[in-house]
Amino acid sequence: MKFKALLKSFVGQNVLVLGDLMLDEYIVGKATRISPEAPVMVVKQHRTFSVPGGAANVAKNVVALGGKATVVGVVGEDAAGIDLQEALGEHGFIIPDPNRPTTRKTRILADTAHQVLRIDHESEDPLEPDIEDAVLAAISDRMDTAQVVLLSDYTKGVLTPGVVAGVIQMAAKKGIPVVANAKPSSLPFYSGATLVSLNAREAADAVGVKDILRHSNGSGISDMPRETAIKLHRDHRIEHILITLGEYGMCTESFYVGPQKV
């Protein structure tokens, strides 16, 4: 299918997004001098703003492509959680958890573009059983209207083994594909998923090597990405594995057609 036709076919698709919600905060200012207290910049603040990040940003991208997104996630009982709820509006079903903060990444930018510092406010602890149950109930209530389930995993504790397995089982019963961007440490959870995507570094970490592109050259791609995709596909029983390779394109492995370079 041609790229434009593929994009057109996505318009109106109902995508159920579940994963690690984040709030990306930006403090923008001008670097004025070096601090007398320590060898660091002094940034005079001009403005601040925040935008949805993590799984919330994935949902925004779905909408930008013409799809319809419903987001399920967990936030803390804090100001950042309220900001995310307001940003997502009716498209979000957000479960508050009093025992964890909303994941928040605060970036300090000097002279508009130069990032001086990033501060992460987060918990990587897995959800408590009662919150897991609430997440699965929210997914179950929304599964009938979904045409695809998208899991956005940043290893911040929402996509626990129990949550992922429950979602995959629910989707399988209804014939709904489950697509995920997973981290290497989480791959064992995703057995039975329709497609899992990783980048080259994540794929290398998943199979315990330093670099799957080290034998690549300007005219083509080595066998290492294909071998990696095959191994991940077989080890984790995932229907399709997609590895993004930067300038070298992508590599896929499927139950149906074997390894392919895109």
Chain segment 79-130, per-residue pLDDT in tens? 999 999 999 998 899 999 999 999 999 999 998 778 999 999 999 999 999 9
Q: Which domain holds residue 197?
A: 3-23+53-261
Res 221: pLDDT:
52
Residue 31 is assigned to a structural domain of this protein: no
Res 215: pLDDT:
55
Residue 150 — pLDDT band, cuts 50, 70, 90?
A: very high
Judged against a pLDDT cut of 50, whether residue 216 lies above it is answered with: no
Res 261: pLDDT:
52
Residue 28 is assigned to a structural domain of this protein: no
The closest alpha carbon to 146, from 192, 191, 179, 181, belongs to 179
Residue 40 is assigned to a structural domain of this protein: no
What's the CATH number where 104 sits?
3.40.1190.20
Token pair listed for 151: 């899991």
Res 38: pLDDT:
94
Distance CA 17, CA 73 (A): 8
| Strand, coil or helix: 83 | helix
Does residue 252 or residue 187 have the better pLDDT?
A: 187
Residue 48 is assigned to a structural domain of this protein: no
DSSP H helices, 128-211, are 129-142, 161-174, 200-207
Distance CA 122, CA 105 (A): 8
Instruction: For 52-61, write each residue's pLDDT tens digit.
Output: 999 999 999 9
Residue 34 is assigned to a structural domain of this protein: no
Res 219: pLDDT:
44
Res 209: pLDDT:
86
Residue 135 is assigned to a structural domain of this protein: yes
**Above pLDDT 90, what percent of the chain?**
73
Res 5: pLDDT:
82
Contact between residue 244 and residue 200 where contact means Cβ atoms under 8 Å apart: yes
Res 254: pLDDT:
72
Number of structural domains (the chain) is 1
Residue 217 is assigned to a structural domain of this protein: yes
Res 188: pLDDT:
92
| Strand, coil or helix: 148 | strand
Residue 152 one-letter amino acid: S
Residue 91 is assigned to a structural domain of this protein: yes
Judged against a pLDDT cut of 60, whether residue 28 lies above it is answered with: yes
Instruction: For 12-27, write each residue's pLDDT tens digit.
Output: 999 999 999 999 999 9
Res 9: pLDDT:
85
Average predicted confidence (pLDDT) for the chain: 90
pTM score, whole prediction: 0.88
**Above pLDDT 70, what percent of the chain?**
92
Which residues, at least 6 apart from 251, have a Cβ–Cβ distance to it below 8 Å? 221, 225, 226, 228, 229, 242, 243, 245, 259, 260, 261, 262
Token pair listed for 227: 């071998």
Which residues, at least 6 apart from 208, have a Cβ–Cβ distance to it below 8 Å? none
